[in-house]
């Protein structure tokens, strides 16, 4: 597992809507297992209530449900393909994402979004390979 930033150099948020392009390229799931403690955007309270204990949601339904969310503050997402986990994303305290998957997927996410923690100015301070949660 690697850790990546949740915020870009210009303050933009890195979240599921942005990650879907990466997921599609490396490991598009047919099902998501989702647990959201807190998120921001359309249907946020509904999503939090429905996923607090964990919810299994088909890919198309998940994408439609989560399309209005612009920030995941705390949440856990596991993508399954034929019931086998192909990636895991964990938003931690609106600070960073833990990302697990194939070595190619992890390397891509690190290169595209940057390692967390990072120095001001965008340079990585380290490329952590673990996340608590």
pLDDT at 120: 41
- Tell me the pLDDT band of 118, cut-offs 50, 70 and 90: low
pLDDT digit string, tens, across residues 2-18: 999 999 999 999 999 99
The DSSP call for residue 101 is S
62 has pLDDT over 70: yes
46 has pLDDT over 90: yes
- Residues 79-95: what's their mean pLDDT? 97
Separation of alpha carbons 41 and 66, rounded Å: 9
Separation of alpha carbons 73 and 91, rounded Å: 6
Proportion of the chain above pLDDT 70, given as a percent: 88
Q: Is the peptide bond before 117 cis (omega within 30 degrees of 0)?
A: yes
pLDDT at 125: 46
Separation of alpha carbons 133 and 18, rounded Å: 22
> How big is the chain, counted in residues?
133
Higher pLDDT, 115 or 121: 115
Per DSSP bridges, beta strands 55-58 and 69-81 are: unpaired
Is the torsion defined by CA of 50, 54, 56, 57 positive or negative? Answer: positive
């Amino acid at each position: 597992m690697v850790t990546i930033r949740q915020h870009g150099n210009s303050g933009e948020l890195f979240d599921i809507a942005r990650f879907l392009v990466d997921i599609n390229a490396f490991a598009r799931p047919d099902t998501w297992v989702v647990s959201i403690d807190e998120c921001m955007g359309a249907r946020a309270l509904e999503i939090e209530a429905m996923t607090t204990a964990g919810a299994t949601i088909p890919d198309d339904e998940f994408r439609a449900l989560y399309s209005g969310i612009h920030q995941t503050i705390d949440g856990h997402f596991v993508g399954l393909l034929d019931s086998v986990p192909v990636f895991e994303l964990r938003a931690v305290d609106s600070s960073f994402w833990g990302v697990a998957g194939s070595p190619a997927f992890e390397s891509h996410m690190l290169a595209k979004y940057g390692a967390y923690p990072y120095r001001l100015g965008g340079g990585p301070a380290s490329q952590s390979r673990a996340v608590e949660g």
